[in-house]
Structure 1
Amino acid sequence: MILRRRTQTATAPDPALRGTRPSPIGLALAAIAGAASLFSFEPFGWWPLQFLCLAYFFYQVGMGSSPRRALWLGWAFGFGWSIGGMHWLYIALNRFGGLAAPLSAAAIALLGLYMGLFAAFAAGASSWLRKRWSLPVPAFLLLVFPVLWGVSEWMRGWVFTGFPWAASGYAHNTAPLAGFAPILGVYGIGVLVALCASCLVMLTQRRRLPALGLAAGVLLAGWGLGHVEWTHPAGQPISVRLLQGDIRQDEKFASAYLNQILTRYRDMITAAPADLIAAPETAIPVFPQQLPPDYLAGFGDYAKRSGSFLMFGIPLADGPDAYANSVAGIGPQGQTYRYDKHHLVPFGEFIPAGFRWFTNLMNIPLGDFTRGQAVQAPFAVKDQLVLPNVCYEDVFGEEIARQLRDAPRPATLLLNVSNLAWYGESVAIPQHLQISRMRSLETGRPMLRATNNGATAIIDGRGNVQQVIPYYRQDVLTARVQGMAGSTPYIRFGNLAFLALGALMLLGAWLTGRSRRMPKKSDQTAG
C-alpha cells in the first residue's frame, strides 16, 4: 500500500490524457502566441513579452502533452513566430520581385510552415524525452525544453544554408541576458530565455519560489557579466564617413538611373576626406567593365590626394559565369582590396537545385553569385584592420567568430554593408540593426554599418548604438572609432560553449529520470 501511494505521487501526468492532436483553436492560439513574439524585437523592443509567449507555449506542451500533440503545437507556434518575424519578405517578392500577390503570400506561408518544423522538433523531441526518461515536470521544463528550444534555433541557422533571423536571443541585446553573449552567443541566450520562460510556467506548480529564484539568478548573472571587459583598445582611433545614398530599389538596377546613381556616390565619396570612407552593398550596381573608363581611376586619385581609404560594394566578375557580391577597397598608396560575400541568400544570390522555375517568376538581377572564401583577410586602414560582411552575413555570428579566430591578423573593426531597400518601410531595418548589435556583443568589436537606406550606424564593442542616421534619407555619418583587439570566449569556441551547456543540462535531466526509475532500498524492503 505504501509502495502504491509513492508510485502514484511520483507519476507525471499521463500524456495520453490530452490526445494526439490539439484542437483548431489550440493551434490558432499557439500560432498567435508565436506571432506576438514580433513585438519583443525592434522597433518595439518589448523583450519581457517574449518570456510570456514562450511560457504559454511551454505550458501547453508541458502539462501532459503526448509527443505527437506537442509536435503539432510546436509547428503552429513556430509558424506564427516565423510569419511574425519575417513577413517583410513578402515586399521583396511582390513589390520588387514582380511575383503575383497570391504567389508571394503562398511563398511566405510555405516558408513559415518549413520554419515551424524547428519549433515542432523542439516540442516533440522534448515531450518524447520526457516520456522515455520518466521526467518530473521541473526537470522537463527547466532542463530539457530550454535546451531543445536553443538547439532548434541553432539548427535553423545552418540546415539548408540556414535562416536564423528572429532567433529569440536577439530580443535581449539591451536586456540583462546580453551579458552572456560574449560567452554563449545568441543561441545560448536563447536557451536562457527559454529557461526563464519555463520558470514562469513553474508558477503553476508547487515549487514556485525556487523557480523564481533561478530566473532572478540568471538575470542577475547576465547583468554582472555585462560589466566584464573582454577586449581592449588597439591602435589609434580612425575617422570614418559612412554613406547612405537612399537609392530606390526600383531604380537601383535600372539603366535609366545608372548615371544618377554613379554620380551620387562619386559625389558623396569625394565630398570630404576621412581615414575610412565606406559605401553600401552594390553602391556601384554594375561591373567595373561597364563603368565609364575614368570612374574607378577617379576614386584612386581621390584616395591618394586625400589620404583616405575607400570601401564600397560592387559586383566583381572572374569570368562570364563567375561573379561575386563584393566589397572593393582602395588605399592612398595604391593598395587594393577585395572581399567576396561568403554566405549567400537562397533565391536572391544563388538558386537552390530544382528551384530555377521559382526564380524565373521574379525579376531579381544577378541571381546566382559565386561564393567567397570562409576566411578572408581584413583591410588595413592605418592602425585598424577592417573586416567587411555583406548584408545578412552578419546574421551568422559563428562565421564572423571563425573569421576572427582563424585569421592570421584578426580584425579590430567590423563593417557591414547592406541594401535593405528590398523590404520597403518594414521592420527589417531595425531588426537588422539589432542583429549587428549582437555581433558586437559576441565579439567585443565595434560594428560600422554603411547601408543604402538604413540603418547606417556605429555600434561600439559593447553593442551600444553610438550614432545612427534616420532611415530612408540620403545622408553621411561622420565619427571617430576606436578598434578593439582580444578574444571573447565566443570567438575562441563559437557555439561549442552553448552546446556544452545544453549537454550538461540534458545529462542532469537524464540522471534525474534515472534516479526516479531506480527502486529505492526502502521500497525493496517494503516489498
Structure 2
Amino acid sequence: MGNTALQSPLSTNRWLRAATLVVAGALQTLTLSPFELWWLGPVSVLLILLACIPLAPGKLFRAGWLAGIGLFGSGASWVYVSISEYGNTSVPLAILLTVIFVVGLGLFHALAFWAWGKLASTSAVRRLILFPAIWVLGDWVRSWLLTGFPWLYLGNAHVDGPLGGFAPVIGVHGVTFLVVASGAVLYGLWWLVKEQRRGAAGVAALLTATLWLSGPALNKVAWTTLDSEPTTFASMQGNIPQQIKWDPDFLRDQIVIYLGLTEEFWETDLILWPETAIPIPQDQAGKIIEYIAGELGDHSTLITGIPWYGFSDRIEDFTFHNSIMAIGNGSGTYHKQKLVPFGEYVPLQQYLRGLIGFFDLPMSSFSRGPENQPPLQANGNGVMPFICYEVAYPDFVARNARNAGLLLTISNDGWFGDSIGPLQHLQIARMRALETGRYMLRGTNNGVTAIIDQKGRIAETIPQFTRATLQGEVFSASGSTPYMQSGSWPVLTLAMILIVFVRERVIPPRA
C-alpha cells in the first residue's frame, strides 16, 4: 500500500470521476439539516478517496474544486434568495453572483487537495493518514480567511449523530476529523479486503466501531452544572416581511407588533426580541426604551436587537453597530464583531457602492464591535449574546461563553426565505450549545425561534413564518467543557503533527 496504484473505476474514468466528486460534495449537504442523514458523511469521504487517491497534485486541485462546488452549490445555494429577492438584482445577475460565490468557496477545497497531494507525494498510506488532517486544517482556514465562512462542516451533522458526544471535548472540528478519518478507514478496509488481509481489516473495523459506539456513552457525561432554579423565558417572533423591514413608513407598526406579542409576558424573567427588532438607532429610540422599561416587572429583563449609532473611541469617528441591549432588571450593550460581507459592510465600498443594488442593501454600513466584550446581565445572570452569523464561529463562541451561564443568539433569517439556510443556522446554534454545555436561547424574526438545552436538543420551538411567542424555562450553567478551555487547538495541533511527521520530505536529510 505504499504507492498510488490503488485505482478504482471512479479514478480512471475522467467523466465518472468528475460526476462522483460533485455528487460526493452534495452528499455532505444531505448530512446536515433539514435532511440530517449523518451517516452519509463517511460515505462521501469514501467516494472522494476512491476518485482521488491515485491523482497527481494538479489533478487533485481540480478534484477538490469539483467536490467543493458540489458541497457549496447544494449547501449554500440559499445566498441566491438574498441576492435575487432582496438584493434588487435581476435573475441572470443573481445567478452569476451565486455561481461566483460557490466557485470561489470551492477554491478552499481545491487548494487543500493540492496541498494534500504535495505533502503525501505518491504514497497511498500517507494520503490516507494525512487526508483528515488536511481536511480539518482547510475547514479551519475557511473559518477566518477573508472574514470566514464557518458553514457546512461535516461535524455539525452529529449534533444528533453518534459522534456528538465528542463535541464538548474536541469541538466541531474534532468531530469532523473523526468523520473524515472514518471515511479513510472505509477506503482502507476496501483495499485490505481486496488484498485478502482480512485480519487487519477486522482490527481496523473494530477500532472504528468502538469509536462510534463510545460517542453516545460520552454524551451522557455532565460537563457543566445547571442551576436548580429555572429562569422563565419568552421570545417573540414578529415575522416582519423583509421588504418592509427598513421602510420608514412601517417602523412604528413593527414596534407595535412586538409590544403586542409581549403584552402577556412583561413579568417573565427573560424576554427576547430578535435582531434589529427595534429598527431605529438606539440614540433615537429613547421613548421606546423608556416605555419598555416601565412595562417590565421588577425582576424582568428584555433583551432586544437594535442598531447603535454614536462616537466610537476605538474607531475615532461616529459609526453604526449592529447591537443588542438589555432593558429592565439587567444591563449592557453588545456590538456585533463578526460582520457579514455585503450584508453588513461592503468590502472595497469606494468601488462597489452604487454599482448594483446588491451593494447598497439597507444597513450595510456597520462597523465591527470591539473584542472581549463582557456578557449582558439579566437578573444576576451573565448572558453572552451572539448576533446572527457570529454563532457559526465555534472557537469564538467557546471563548466568549466562559464568563456566562446562558448563551443567546438573535437573527433575522428573513433574508433567506424558505430555503435550507435558516435550518442549517439552527443546527449550528445547537452544536454551539452542545460544545459549551449551556442553554442557547434563539430569537429570530421569522424562524427558527427555539430554546436549545445544554445537550444541543431543542426543548421548545415555534413554526417558521408565523407571528407567535415562544415560552419556556431555561437553566443557567456553571463550569466549562474541555472544549471551552482548549478550543480547537488540540485537533489542529494533531493535524500539524501528522503533517510534520507523515509528509513526504521535500528535502531529503543529508547522509
Distance 1:356 1:290, change over 3 A: farther
CA 1:346 to 1:22, structure 2 compared with 1: closer, same or farther past 3 Å? farther
Three-state SS of the structure 1 residue aligned to 2:332 is: strand
Aligned to 1:274: 268
Give the equivalent residue in structure 2 for 1:140. 127
Alpha-carbon distance between aligned partners in 2 of 1:353 and 1:128, rounded to the nearest angstrom: 34
Residue 186 (structure 1) aligned to one of 141, 147, 172: 172
SS of equivalent residue, structure 2 residue 491: helix
User: In terms of Rg, which structure is larger?
Assistant: 1
1:184-223 to structure 2, matched below 5 A, reads: 184-206=170-192, 207-223=200-216
Unaligned ranges ≥5, structure 1: 1-9, 519-527
Pairwise CA distance, 1:306? 4.8
Instruction: Tell me the C-alpha RMSD between the 2 structures.
Output: 2.4
1:226 aligns with 2:219: yes
Q: CA shift at 1:180, angstroms?
A: 1.2
CA distance in 1: counterparts of 2:233 and 2:431, whole angstroms: 22
In 2, the alpha carbon distance for the partners of 1:31 and 1:487 equals: 40
Structure 1 residue 350, shift from structure 2 partner: 1.2
Contact 1:22 1:69 in 2 (8 A): no
Contact 1:170 1:435 in 2 (8 A): yes
Contact 2:283 2:308 survives alignment (8 Å):
no
CA distance 1:269–1:337, shift in 2 (3 Å): farther
By how many angstroms is 1:355 displaced? 7.3
Alignment partner of 1:65 out of 33, 55, 70? 55
Q: State the TM-score, normalized to the length of structure 1.
A: 0.88
- 1:65–1:443: structure 2 CA closer, same or farther, 3 Å change rule? same
1:260 Cα offset (Å): 1.3
| Equivalent-residue separation in structure 1 for 2:62 and 2:354 (angstroms) | 31
Distance 1:470 1:66, change over 3 A: same
Q: Would you say the 8 A contact 1:243–1:476 is kept in 2?
A: yes
Distance 1:96 1:17, change over 3 A: closer
Structure 1 residue 121: Cα displacement: 2.4
The AA in structure 2 aligned to 1:386 is: V
**Deviation at residue 301 of structure 1 after TM alignment:** 0.7
Relative to 1, partners in 2 of residues 1:80 and 1:23: Cα closer, same or farther, differing over 3 Å?
Answer: same
TM-score normalised to structure 2 length? 0.90
In structure 2, the partner of 1:82 is 72
Question: Take 1:13 and 1:188, find their aligned partners in 2: how far apart are those partners?
Answer: 28
Q: Deviations over 1:258-278 (max 9, x none)?
A: 221110112223432201001
Identity rate of aligned residues, in percent? 33
1:398 maps onto 2:399 in alignment: no
- Paired residues for 1:19-168 under 5 Å: 23-62=14-53, 64-131=54-121, 135=123, 137-141=124-128, 143-168=129-154
Q: From 160, 163, 172, give the equivalent of 1:177.
A: 163
In structure 2, give the amino acid aligned to 1:275.
D
Equivalent pair of 2:326/2:378 in contact (CA under 8 Å): no
- Name the SS of the counterpart of 2:264 in structure 1: coil
Contact 1:37 1:84 in 2 (8 A): no
| Alignment correspondent of 1:283 | 277
1:192-228 CA-to-partner distances (Å, cap 9, x unmatched) read 1101111222232125323322321221232232122
Give yes or no for contact 2:168–2:483 (8 Å, CA) kept in 1: yes
Distance 1:345 1:472 in 2: 23
2:367 aligned with 1:370: yes
1:338 is aligned to 333
1:279-323 residue CA offsets vs partner (Å, 9 max, x unmatched): 0000011123544x63221011112x4531010001010148501
Aligned partners of 2:379, 2:215: CA distance in 1, in Å?
A: 36
Instruction: Letter of the 1:452 partner, please give it.
Output: N
Cα distance change, pair 57–456 in 1 and its aligned pair in 2 (3 A): same
* Cα offsets for 1:126-182 (capped at 9, x unmatched): 222221xx63x34421x2001101111111101111001111111111111111111
| CA apart distance, 1:490 | 1.2
> Per-residue deviation at 1:15?
9.7
Task: Mark the runs of 5 or more structure 2 residues left unpaired by the alignment.
Answer: 193-199, 312-316
User: How far, CA to CA, are the matches of 2:336 and 2:389 in structure 1?
Assistant: 10
- The 8 Å contact of residues 60 and 114 in structure 2, kept in 1 or not, is answered as yes
Give distance in 2, aligned partners of 1:388 and 1:163: 20
> How far is 1:324 from its partner?
0.5
Q: What is the number of residues matched between the two proteins? A: 491
1:261 and 2:258 matched: no
Aligned partner of 2:325: which letter?
Answer: A
Q: Find the counterpart in structure 2 of residue 237 from structure 1.
A: 230
TM-aligned CA distance change 1:400 to 1:352, over 3 Å: same
Q: Is the contact between residue 22 and residue 72 of structure 1 (CA under 8 Å) also seen in structure 2?
A: no
Where does residue 196 of structure 2 map in the other structure? none
**2:242 equivalent in structure 1:** 249
Stretch of structure 1 that moved more, 117-126 or 170-179: 117-126
Kindly indicate whether the alpha-carbon contact (under 8 Å) linking 1:71 and 1:124 is maintained by their aligned counterparts in 2: yes
CA contact 2:6–2:191 (8 Å) conserved in 1 = no
1:350 matched residue in structure 2: 345
Contact in 1 for aligned 2:238/2:258 (Cα 8 Å): yes
Runs of 4+ that moved beyond 6 A: 15-18
